């Protein structure tokens, strides 16, 4: 028998998303330098956080977040992921062209550049940890 769940309001947005990178110096140079994101916080070799519009991008060192920290100030459960993750940034058509040129000039080649069946364009590239990143026109999802 299926359990009835109490009503809850719709989720309005993603507040934060996480990727994992063992070399936070390289991650900070890429996300803060190449992508020009504002760094919000860095805690040693555990994590570095960046602002992306109204969202926060969390970059964690997986080796550090998989370890229980009994002295932690806040009870955040341990977590982590291995292997490349994926994140897509929203960009308008003319912005995608500029980003493709900047990424290529910075030594981060575009792996794929194409239009989806609905006409929206995406480019794919990698961060230093091998995470698959995308920039796509919001029209991809009807925005």
Structural domain spans, the chain:
16-68+81-141
Helix, strand, or coil (residue 115): strand
16-68+81-141 to CATH, choices 3.40.50.720, 3.65.10.10, 3.10.180.10, 3.40.50.300: 3.10.180.10
Q: Where are the beta strands (DSSP E) in the chain?
A: 16-20, 38-43, 47-52, 55-60, 86-90, 112-115, 121-126, 132-136
The percentage of the chain sitting over the pLDDT mark of 90, rounded to a whole number, equals: 83
The pTM is what? 0.90
Give 36-77 pLDDT, tens digit per residue.
999 999 999 999 999 999 999 999 999 988 877 677 676 777
Q: Which tokens hold the place of 40?
A: 């919000």
59: enclosing H helix or E strand: strand 55-60
């Amino acid at each position: 028998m299926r359990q009835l769940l109490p009503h809850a309001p719709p989720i309005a947005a993603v507040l934060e998303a996480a990727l994992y990178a063992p070399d936070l110096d390289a991650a900070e140079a890429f996300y803060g330098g190449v992508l020009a994101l504002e760094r919000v916080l860095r805690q040693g070799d555990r994590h570095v956080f960046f602002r992306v519009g109204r969202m926060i991008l969390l970059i964690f060192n997986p080796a550090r977040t998989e370890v229980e920290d009994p002295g932690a100030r806040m009870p955040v459960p341990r977590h982590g992921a291995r292997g490349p993750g994926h994140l897509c940034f929203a960009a308008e058509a003319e912005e995608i062209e500029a980003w493709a040129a900047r990424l290529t000039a910075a030594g981060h080649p575009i792996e794929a550049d194409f239009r989806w069946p609905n006409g929206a364009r995406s480019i794919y590239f990698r961060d230093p940890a091998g995470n698959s990143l995308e920039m796509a026109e919001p029209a991809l999802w009807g925005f």
